Homo-oligomer: A and B are copies of this chain.
Amino acid sequence: MTRMTVPHSSRRAREIQESPIRKLAPLADAATAKGTRIFHLNIGQPDIPTPPDYWSAITSQLPPVLAYGPSNGLPDLRKAISGYYGRAGIDVAPEEVLITTGGSEAVVFAMMAVCDEGDEVVCFEPFYTNYNGFATMAGVRLVPVTSSPDDGFHLPDDEAIESRIGDRTRALLICNPNNPTGTVLKREEVERLAEIAKRRNLFLLADEVYRDFVFDGRSHASVLEVSGCKDSVIVMDSISKRFSSCGARLGDMVVRNPELMAGILKFAQARLCPPTLAQFGAIYMYDHLGEDYFSGVTSTYQSRRDVLLECLSGVEGVFFQKPEGAFYAMVGLPVDDTDDFAAWLLRDFSDAGETTMVAPGAGFYATPGLGKNEIRIAYVLEEARMRRALEILGRGLAAYGA
């Protein structure tokens, strides 16, 4: 009997990176099935409650027909986001805002709007690992400039950056505050990047999803505040972290270049619209939650950051930089391969019936071999649970080494 021929899936489907944040999910499921309790430091899913009024904003206006909305989002939400920026002293018109299905879609639209297949985007590693997946889907090559824990993962000098810019480079991509390092770029760093973008005729794509969460009295410097680069800047944003509503799947883009916005609108029209209900809730949050809300949430994350530093400082062989914002840290461990260690924690280890899940670091780098001894920790759990999660991590390290 001959074996039937079956067509093969595409190269991109075969080669796209498995998410280091989610690829261990089957091992986690198996651990849970064995009765092990897992502390999730692997994923940026905050435990901060979704603001209760979010729900009433939705339930108070349930429509008879859950209809398509405009492709660029509900006008009231675009206006509310314009107001949010206005309160931060940044002038953004509602027409410069396009609502997306999560920050994820904002990144995909941005990449597709500035790159054709085979074009390149220069980014700074370690970077948000899902950029890899988006780039593969968009046919874009990510060219990494390596940033170093020795200077807190801040920007390398111009020469190091410009040396990676080539004929096919179309954009620089930053995440500020940074996922996975927690680094907050200084205003002069953001200005320096805008200067390079201008000099080399590139777009500057800025993922500013964590812009509200900066610590120790810092202020956030947005690319939207740099003068003279209105037409070359795209901001990618999300309500997922801002209002602890990751499952809503709402984000947005700020684009002040009308030609570029016209192209992005056509991408948006193809997929019809972002989720309608979630927009009702988001309008409420943007209109009613301001500085008080953000400073409360930020101080929660800052305290957790301090707990992280305290707990990790007691663990031998661990090295890390003090995060300046967001709620992530890249942490070096005294192991050769954190992919193996993270899997081992789920598969072979438990401490009084509990274990900790972390994201292996290699997937946050594009340069092969880098990040193999690092993990990304998302400090999104309340203090007692985080202390326990990090205690388990320490005990796991000791047992793994032995």
Interface residues of A (CB under 8 A from B): 4-14, 16-19, 21-23, 25, 43, 45-50, 54-55, 58-59, 62-71, 101-102, 104-105, 108, 112-119, 130, 132-134, 137-139, 170-171, 198, 201-203, 228, 231-232, 244-249, 257, 259-260, 263-264, 266-267, 269-278
Contact = CB atoms under 8 A, between A and B. Distances in A.
A287 to B, nearest CB: 18
Contacts of A170: 7, 10
Contacts of A139: 117, 139
A19 B104 contact: no
Contacts of A271: 101-102, 104-105, 108, 130, 133
B66 A62 contact: no
A101 B274 CA distance: 9
A278 B5 CA distance: 39
A202 B10 CA distance: 12
Given A132-B270, A133-B271, 15 more contacts: A9-B114, A10-B263, A13-B114, A14-B263, A16-B270, A18-B266, A45-B67, A49-B64, A104-B270, A133-B267, A134-B270, A246-B272, A249-B273, A275-B275, A277-B277
A246 B68 contact: yes
Contacts of A203: 7
A275 to B, nearest CB: 5
Contact of A133 (B50, B138, B266): B266
A113 B272 contact: no
Nearest to A63: B50
Q: Tell me the dominant secondary structure on chain A's binding face.
A: loop
15 contacts: A7-B171, A9-B257, A10-B263, A13-B114, A13-B260, A14-B263, A16-B263, A18-B269, A47-B65, A49-B65, A59-B59, A67-B247, A102-B272, A249-B276, A275-B278
Contact of A137 (B22, B25, B102, B270): B270
Given A244-B66, A275-B248, A13 B266 contact: yes
A55 B198 CA distance: 50
Contacts of A260: 9, 13
Given A16-B270, A247-B275, A231 B6 contact: yes
Most chain B C-beta atoms within 10 Å of own C-beta, residue among A69, A71, A249, A263: A249
A19 B248 CA distance: 26
A200 to B, nearest CB: 9
A8 B231 CA distance: 10
Contacts of A17: 266
Given A276-B248, A277-B247, A201 B117 contact: no
Given A19-B269, A65-B49, A117-B117, A112 B274 contact: no
A267 B13 contact: yes
Nearest to A129: B270
Given A270-B19, A275-B249, A263 B9 contact: yes
Contacts of A118: 117
A248 B277 contact: yes
Most chain B C-beta atoms within 10 Å of own C-beta, residue among A4, A59, A118, A198: A4
A48 B63 CA distance: 12
A158 B272 CA distance: 34
A7 B171 CA distance: 9
Contacts of A25: 70
